[in-house]
Each structure stands twice: as C-alpha cells, then as structure tokens.
Amino acid sequence: MCLNLFKVAESIRRRPTPTLSFYFLPFNKPTCTPRLARRSVNTAKPYPAYSSTMPVELHGSCHCGAVKFSVESSTPVPYQLCLCSICRKVGGAGGSINLGGISKSLKVEGKENISVYKAVLNRGTPQEKIASSERNFCKKCSAMLWLYDKSWPELIHPFASAIDSPELESPKKMVCIQLQSKPAWVRLPEGEKDVYDVYGDLSLEEWHKKNKAFVA
C-alpha cells in the first residue's frame, strides 16, 4: 500500500482530496506538472498470464501461516513501487507494492490473528493526524497483508509480498513513486522504469487497461 497508494473506484470516481493520504494507491491526483494530453494508439501486448475475461483469484498468507486469504483482482500486475516513509517502514526499506482487489470477494482464515495499523501522517508537526486507511497485518509475525479504506468500500489492496499464488506476472516496466521521500541509500529496482517525485499519471485500473493487463 504510503503517501500514494490507490483514483476512486479507480476511474469511476476522481482521486481523493489532499487530506486523504492513500499514498501507495494511485487514486491521488499527481501534484507534479501533468503531461500534455495526446492521442496515441495503444500497441501494448497483453500480459499472457492475465488474458482471461475473469478476475484473477489471488491467494496469500502471512509468513507464519496464521492468516490465509484469497481475493479476486482485475489489476494483478505488481508494477508500482511506493517509496514513501509509510511504505518503507511497514513494507521494508525498498518500499511496498500493492495490487488492486475486489473487497467483497475477500475470504480470510485466521481473522483472530489480524491487527490493523492506521498510519500517522505528518508526524511531529502541527498537522499530525491519523490516516483513514487501514493496513492489515498478522499480529504474530507482523507480515503486511492488505490495505483497506472505508472511503472506497468496494476496493481492497493486497500487498504483492503476501501473494503466494498464482505467480505474479513481472511488469515490463516499473513505476516508482514518492522519490521525494526516498533516502539516498535506497536503490531503485533494476531495469526499465518510470520515476516520479510524487505520483504517477495513471490509476491502477488505467495502467492495467493501457497495458492490456486488466481482467474483469
């Protein structure tokens, strides 16, 4: 999931207000200068693993196995790495990658072993507040599982790191966001990538549709 993390209902509603810190989700409207709109032909080749017309059922778990879950996803490619302070501290030094999921399809074993963290935003400043987004994790082994925000009840965002099967399709190009928060010692992934100081131009749904990886 972050100072990003996921445009409302992804492209049905618009991105959230500046007071919401859904930073690992590309719901937020980019604060950087937008690119000029231009007409283009989408020549992207479809991702072979996601060529069906049905959502992908993702199966995941925590590290110790106390929590197992499944959720259907129309946006299953782990292409976007968020490097905001929340994602780096809860997800590891390299940041976090969240997928999109359909919240009503979520099935969980071991609910009693789940705890929830609501991130502290603007810590140590007069603007300090608690985020509305909920990061669900295993209280036994601390593994992050998914992010949920009641502002978008139809959506849920599993951490790619929690997914066991199917094997996630490697993105042809990564998108790295929130570089303004990245410490100098943190290295970006190898290979082709687009980088943004704040947020990228596309929501999860828009990116998947552009790259012919959206399944519904």
* Cα atoms found within 13 Å of the Cα of residue 45, Cβ hemisphere only: 5
Q: Give the pLDDT of residue 141.
A: 97
Note the pTM of the prediction, 2 decimals: 0.77
Q: Give the pLDDT of residue 188.
A: 95
Q: Give the pLDDT of residue 54.
A: 84
Q: Give the pLDDT of residue 94.
A: 87
145 CB-contact burial (10 Å; exposed 0-12 / middle 13-18 / buried 19+): buried
Q: Give the pLDDT of residue 168.
A: 96
149 CB-contact burial (10 Å; exposed 0-12 / middle 13-18 / buried 19+): buried
Q: Give the pLDDT of residue 45.
A: 62
CATH number of 53-210: 2.170.150.70
Q: Give the pLDDT of residue 93.
A: 77
Parse the chain into domains and list their residue ranges.
53-210
Closest C-alpha among 160, 9, 145 to residue 77: 160
Per-residue pLDDT of the chain (216 residues; tens, 9 = 90+): 443 444 333 433 444 333 333 334 433 333 333 333 333 344 556 665 555 668 999 999 999 999 999 999 999 999 999 999 999 999 887 899 999 999 999 999 999 999 999 999 888 899 999 999 999 999 999 999 999 999 999 999 999 999 999 999 999 999 999 999 999 999 999 999 999 999 999 999 999 999 999 998
Q: Give the pLDDT of residue 210.
A: 95
- Residue whose entry in the numeric block shows the structure tokens 């669900």: 136
* N-to-C CA span, the chain: 22
